[in-house]
Amino acid sequence: MPDPHTPEHSGSPPGAGRRILLLSAYDAHSHRQWRSTLCSMFPDHHWTCLSLPPRHFAWRVRGNSLSWAFNHRQTLTDNYDLLIATSLADLSSLRGFVPELARLPTLVYFHENQFAYPIRPSRPAKSTSGAVADIEKTRQSNLVNAQLTSLYAALCADRIVFNSDWNRHSFFAGLDALLNKLPDEVPAGLSQQLQANSSVLAVPLPDRLYAGDSCMDSDTRRPNSADRILQIVWNHRHEYDKGPTLLLAIVQRLVARGLRFRLHLLGQRFRQAPEEFDQLRALLATHYRDQGMAPGLDAWIGSRDEYETLLSKSDIVLSTAQHDFQGLSILEGMARGCMPLAPDALAYPEYIDEAFLYPVEGLTITEQADAACARIISWQHQGQKPGSNRSTIDVSRFSATAMQAPWATLLDSLIDS
């Protein structure tokens, strides 16, 4: 079994400020950004972070309590004032292994929930139908296990917090549906109990995103002419749930219309990716050659400076996601001055004006792509970047500075309790 991540410490030295233990059970990129920003927002506290790598999902969800309890018991039993854990932390088992944790005021933070993920399309069968059926049963079993883990973790918490209202709503809708399926002996009122103990508080964006060329001066950085090359950023994980089929359909339409655009294909990529990305790259290569232009960037940018600089030079940050519980990639683009174009669903309507959303509910991929392309083509033909009204694209309320007060109130209320 691979060793868990080494404990990380930040903030004031032990003895100064409050001592906070933070557990990140599946430390994906957005989770790392959240805990890093949160720690930097409160440097007077002493933070100890235990995290586990974002791989082997089914094992990670079921095994995180085992990994932590027997590899980091000394760290877990230090003298803390508050415990913060992500929703995939197996807190009920961890408290059994390490009873000292049950004495701490506890916050469980939901970056996502396992009820609202779109179903992954099945891969073509290379074995018997029985083997495929077994794979599907295993997948369903793993999903229910993750759902129950988040339920048990929430029941262990003094407070549960979601990063968006969409996340909160979809969690409780999914939880109610799951509880109704269970055969018997289900305690009454679990969902109502948790709802009364829940709230919404977004993942803060680092203040550096708002420095320099931000959304407030975007029009001065982008030349206004209808024949210029439109710079579009798609900055999401290269996985099925981020909508590669819709992305391909949108690009096919833009190319067919002869629009002069460059697509920057960013985001994390993995050993296996949906086949649409290969089709997309072939289409874009032909498009750039026919238009006589340099290609857009197709890479995961490890440097934050380079990533933010590219966002600052781009026009549109595009989402084709089937699920997004807050939409950090879109928010990052907006903070750097990009105009958002996103589905009128999920968490997006909570902070994006309807002028920058395209319809998806009840529509086919073709209809969704047509609607998105109509927005892009209309904006390009205007010859300028619309949305210069700052109120429509200002996301400064998500900055670490703006969110410090509500986060401080939450942490203090738990510690003081």
Least confident of 99-103, 158-162, 249-253, 375-379: 375-379
Q: Tens digit of pLDDT for each residue in 132-168?
A: 566 667 777 788 999 999 999 999 999 999 999 999 9
Please give the structure tokens belonging to residue 352: 């994006």
Q: What is the model's pLDDT at position 221?
A: 47
Q: Tens digit of pLDDT for each residue in 219-240?
A: 444 555 556 899 999 999 999 9
Question: Is the predicted pLDDT of residue 387 greater than 80, yes or no?
Answer: no
Least confident of 27-36, 136-145, 342-351, 393-402: 136-145
Q: What is the dihedral of CA 254, 255, 258, 262, to 10 degrees?
A: 80
Q: What is the model's pLDDT at position 128?
A: 52
> Which residue in the block uniquely carries the two structure tokens 């309890």?
69
Helix (H), strand (E) at residue 261: strand 261-265
Contact 336/212 with Cβ under 8 angstroms?
no
Please name the residues in contact with 108: beta carbons below 8 A apart, sequence gap of 6 or more. Answer: 84, 85, 86, 87, 89, 91, 153, 154, 156, 157, 159, 160, 161
User: What burial class does residue 272 get, using C-beta atoms within 10 Å of its C-beta: 0-12 exposed, 13-18 middle, 19+ buried?
Assistant: exposed
Please give the structure tokens belonging to residue 406: 């509500």
Q: Tens digit of pLDDT for each residue in 318-343?
A: 999 999 999 999 999 999 999 999 99
> Which residue in the block uniquely carries the two structure tokens 């209202």?
165
- pLDDT (mean) for 42-60: 96
Banded model confidence at residue 2, pLDDT cuts 50, 70, 90: very low
- pLDDT (mean) for 348-357: 96
> Which residue in the block uniquely carries the two structure tokens 């807190």?
91
Question: Is the predicted pLDDT of residue 119 greater than 90, yes or no?
Answer: no
Q: What is the model's pLDDT at position 132?
A: 56
**Residue 181 forms beta bridges with which residues?**
none
Strand order in the sheet with 230-234: 261-265, 230-234, 316-318, 339-343, 357-358
- pLDDT (mean) for 401-407: 98
- Nearest by Cα to 392 from 350, 355, 342: 355
- Nearest by Cα to 354 from 320, 397, 387, 332: 387
Specify the CATH architecture of the domain 8-204+400-416. 3-Layer(aba) Sandwich (3.40)
Banded model confidence at residue 129, pLDDT cuts 50, 70, 90: low
Q: What angle do CA 93, 326, 152 make, to 5 degrees?
A: 15
> Which residue in the block uniquely carries the two structure tokens 């927005």?
375
Collapsing DSSP to helix, strand or coil, 53 comes out as: coil
Tell me what percent of the residues of the chain surpass a pLDDT of 70: 88
User: What burial class does residue 12 get, using C-beta atoms within 10 Å of its C-beta: 0-12 exposed, 13-18 middle, 19+ buried?
Assistant: middle
Task: Tell me the three-class secondary structure of 1-47, residue by residue.
Answer: CCCCCCCEEEECCCCCCCEEEEEECCCCHHHHHHHHHHHHHCCCCEE
Q: Tens digit of pLDDT for each residue in 266-283?
A: 999 988 899 999 999 999
Q: Best-predicted range by mean pLDDT among 33-37, 139-143, 384-388? A: 33-37
Banded model confidence at residue 255, pLDDT cuts 50, 70, 90: very high
Least confident of 83-87, 216-220, 261-265: 216-220
Was domain 207-398 assigned CATH 3.40.50.2000?
yes
Q: What is the model's pLDDT at position 352?
A: 96
Question: Is the predicted pLDDT of residue 126 greater than 70, yes or no?
Answer: no
Where do the H-state alpha helices sit in 257-303?
276-291
Whole-number Cα distances in Å, 35 to 76, 247, 406: 18, 30, 16
Whole-number Cα distances in Å, 340 to 131, 153, 329, 337, 359: 43, 35, 10, 9, 14
- pLDDT (mean) for 3-26: 82
Tell me whether strands 339-343 and 46-51 are parallel, antiparallel or unpaired: unpaired
Question: Is the predicted pLDDT of residue 241 greater than 50, yes or no?
Answer: yes
Whole-number Cα distances in Å, 76 to 28, 50, 73, 103: 22, 9, 5, 12
Mean pLDDT of the chain: 90
Q: What is the model's pLDDT at position 121?
A: 61
Would you mind telling me the total number of residues written for the chain in this entry? 417
- pLDDT (mean) for 60-68: 97
Question: Is the predicted pLDDT of residue 394 greater than 70, yes or no?
Answer: yes
- pLDDT (mean) for 75-96: 97
Where do the H-state alpha helices sit in 292-327?
304-312
Banded model confidence at residue 388, pLDDT cuts 50, 70, 90: very low
What ranges do the domains of the chain cover? Answer: 8-204+400-416, 207-398
pTM as predicted: 0.90
- More confident of the two residues 174 and 136: 174
Question: Is the predicted pLDDT of residue 190 greater than 70, yes or no?
Answer: yes
**Residue 298 forms beta bridges with which residues?**
265
Please name the residues in contact with 337: beta carbons below 8 A apart, sequence gap of 6 or more. Answer: 213, 214, 215, 216, 217, 218, 221, 311, 312, 393
Integer Cα distance of 206 and 214 in angstroms: 13
